[in-house]
Structure 1
């Protein structure tokens, strides 16, 4: 099932756990002016434009593929908040330097894990549903449907929060009712209790997506 949902995961969550936001200047200003539904539609359109006609090239050059993902996601993602949510209660036990390392390593691990699935993305795969939220609120959800290869629709919800600057940033993706922040928080919690936060960060930094696969297997075997 995860393979079939790799497209949805890459579009939203790769997310959705973040590294330092690199966008500045005009890009940051444009992001601030967008409503959540426009952010989601913009990401979908940007990914389609970047991938169409370049699949063979990107398949051979994963680093370039990762840069495509970064350019689409990072300006619209709440880095600090998402990483703190995943760390959960352990965030209080970490130093600022550890939190920064964790966010960077975890983001890189997830993008590398799901990058290949993104190559199957084509324009029109994501259907953004009409937005009925109140933009005066501090939090809101954008609902979409992702069309899989077999034509089935997968419900994908994007959780947004308004920053102090007034712009909307995504911090979680909920696929078929399953929050990836919650899912990975449970796995991270188990890993920290078993080996400690420093060991977890080191594993993510050195093993990347393999560390996530190990956590995932351990979680399934324990349940």
Structure 2
């Protein structure tokens, strides 16, 4: 979905839902919007106390990583002489159902936890044992040797893309955003929608308009 961060979602641009949740949470010293798109930066600049950063073209390509964009933002802030940042929180705009309360709870869990990082997750819709891969002949392979009822399996969780928290010193160009075994902040699937397709967008709009 080209330009999806600017598409109107229930009355405001998609990115506005994340900006407003970040502001409402009250946990940030600085809130930064980094983008190569001037229209996105223009939307962000309408909010008080939002720092906007123009992302260079080489960090806006399909091969650029989130870590590289964050590292660039940190270097730019430090070059401007802003305050030192000990903790970095990444909020992707494609998770508009994430609430300020989620950000607050995740941050508290990170501060009191015993891990260098935290990531938001939600429970898998179906047991991973029910999944597999297709071989060259179209056969489904890799299924568990014995299939059971869904409630007979242990709960498993996946990244939902809504919240990432780590220490500033762990952010570096070319490195992973998260390492080791991060803490997991569990969110309900109802707030874990990550908009990637037009169907995701329509579903999210239905949820927001129903509230």
| Structures share fold, TM-score greater than 0.5 | no
Whose radius of gyration is greater, 1 or 2? 2
For normalisation by structure 1, the TM-score amounts to 0.24
For normalisation by structure 2, the TM-score amounts to 0.25
